[in-house]
Amino acid sequence: MAVCVAVIAKENYPLYIRSVPTENELKFHYMVHTSLDVVDEKISAMGKALVDQRELYLGLLYPTEDYKVYGYVTNSRVKFVMVVDSSNTALRDNEIRSMFRKLHSSYTDVMCNPFYNPGDCIQSRAFDSMVTSMMIQVC
């Protein structure tokens, strides 16, 4: 269902980015990059409220003609960005939310791996296969 999944570190550099191979990869990288501004805006705009409600899901960041970009930010300011095909109308907010939650818990497992150094690119096979399962569910 997702066409691109990205994990962005606190300092706004990518830890992990994957997109469906058939499409133009660079386009997605660009899209994710652009979305970071929106993420920052959202965090600063409702930063206070977010902390209070412990709401990590940022919702739709921006729609383009073909895609929708969703965002999620953890309390440690790690960002998850997901690009989905907007032709897929069956995908509701709740599903996106649960996908992000899955992504978050998988990311937590990666962090707990003693061989992973925080700040490095994510090369975990488990994380990779989890992202793959998210991508092929509908595609």
Partner 1 sequence: MSRQANRGTESKKMSSELFTLTYGALVTQLCKDYENDEDVNKQLDKMGYNIGVRLIEDFLARSNVGRCHDFRETADVIAKVAFKMYLGITPSITNWSPAGDEFSLILENNPLVDFVELPDNHSSLIYSNLLCGVLRGALEMVQMAVEAKFVQDTLKGDGVTEIRMRFIRRIEDNLPAGEE
Rule CB under 8 A: which residues touch partner 1? Answer: 109, 112-116, 123-126
Pick from 14, 91, 15, 102: which is nearest to 56 by CA? 102
Q: Closest distance between partner 1 and the C-beta of residue 119, in Å?
A: 15
Q: Closest distance between partner 1 and the C-beta of residue 116, in Å?
A: 8
Which is closer to partner 1, CB of 90 or CB of 112? Answer: 112
Long-range contacts of residues 97-102, Cβ cutoff 8 Å, at least 24 apart: 97/57, 99/1, 99/2, 99/134, 100/56, 100/57, 100/70, 100/72, 102/130, 102/134
Q: Closest distance between partner 1 and the C-beta of residue 124, in Å?
A: 5
